[in-house]
Amino acid sequence: MAAPLPDQRDLVCELFDVESMTSRKRYADHNRETFNAAIDTSRVVAEKTRPIRHCVVLKYL
């Protein structure tokens, strides 16, 4: 049986090394939860604008 895929939020946090980012002055007020909230929000925006992007692409093909 195949191993389950990791959560996309985990992948993004690992890719950008969120744990070390929070040790920097600029990101000191943030934690894993705030990064997860930003990722979730961006996913919702992307899903809502998908039909719009599709129409724009088809218009210019």
pLDDT at 8: 81
pLDDT at 12: 86
Residues 55, 46 contacting (CB under 8 angstroms): no
pLDDT tens digits, 5-56: 567 888 888 888 988 999 999 999 999 899 999 988 988 888 887 776 666 6
pLDDT at 61 over 60: no
Q: Which two tokens stand for residue 42?
A: 């961006």
| Residue 44 burial (10 A CB sphere; 0-12, 13-18, 19+) | exposed
Tell me, letter by letter, the H, E, C secondary structure of 5-61. Answer: CCCHHHHHHHHCCHHHHCCCHHHCCCCHHHHHHHHHHHHHHHHHHHHHHHHHHHHCC
